[in-house]
Amino acid sequence: MVIRAIVLVGMRASGKTTLGRALAARLGWPFRDSDEVLAAAVGRPAGEWLAAVGEPAFRAREQAVVLDLLSGPGPVVIATGGGAVTSGAVRETLAADDLLTVWLQASPAVLTARLLASPIARPALSGLAPAAETAALAAQRAPYYAGPARLAIDTGEVDVDRAVELVEAALRSARSGPTR
């Protein structure tokens, strides 16, 4: 089977951009980050735009960006925004046979620590404290990430090089036969 794209999904700070860049470099494929594409389209960082327009408008634009990236030619490595999977249309598309969807996981404690240490501004999506919000969103979104994923990697447990190796192995397996 020809895999047209490797798509990384998971919570914010799960390592989608970091792993995506490393994986694309290893494979010699282009890398596209939906947050970067969205930011270029609206003229400011995605998190800043989310805070300005609110979550419903942000999710609608994010869905359009992600669906556009998923419909493009391959090969390509795509990192989606953490909430992109809340769109049914995105989840349905992620299940396509020519996509290798990889769910990057980490514990809420690891994700919260990464968020608090990050120089990237990520606005709160609720009135909860960062740790509580991360735990609540992770629990809410887990079934959405798991549904289309052919592989799950705990980025709190493995480093980037090992994660790249795991995705490469899944890609080889997908090319040699059905995985679902």
DSSP 92-128: HHHT-TTEEEEEEE--HHHHHHHHHH-SS----SSSS
> Alpha-carbon distance 76 to 2, whole Å?
12
C-beta of residue 34 within 8 angstroms of C-beta of residue 62: yes
Which has the closest alpha carbon to 111: 129, 135, 127? Answer: 135
pLDDT of residue 179: 46
- CATH code at position 155: 3.40.50.300
Write phi, then psi, for 31 (nearest 5 degrees). -120, 135
Per-residue pLDDT of 5-50, as tens digits, reads: 999 999 999 999 999 999 999 999 999 999 999 999 999 988 888 8
C-beta of residue 109 within 8 angstroms of C-beta of residue 131: yes
If you search the block for the tokens 């010699």, which residue do you land on? 28
> Alpha-carbon distance 151 to 118, whole Å?
26
Q: In terms of residue numbers, what domain contains 49?
A: 5-176
If you search the block for the tokens 């390509």, which residue do you land on? 76
Q: Partners of 7 in the beta sheet?
A: 78, 101
Q: Based on the structure, what is the number of domains in the chain?
A: 1
Q: Is the pLDDT of residue 159 over 70?
A: yes
pTM above 0.95, yes or no: no
Distances (CA, A) of 18 to 21, 25, 117, 123: 5, 11, 15, 20
Per-residue pLDDT of 100-143, as tens digits, reads: 999 999 999 999 999 888 877 666 667 678 888 899 999 999 99
**Percent of the chain surpassing pLDDT 70:** 94
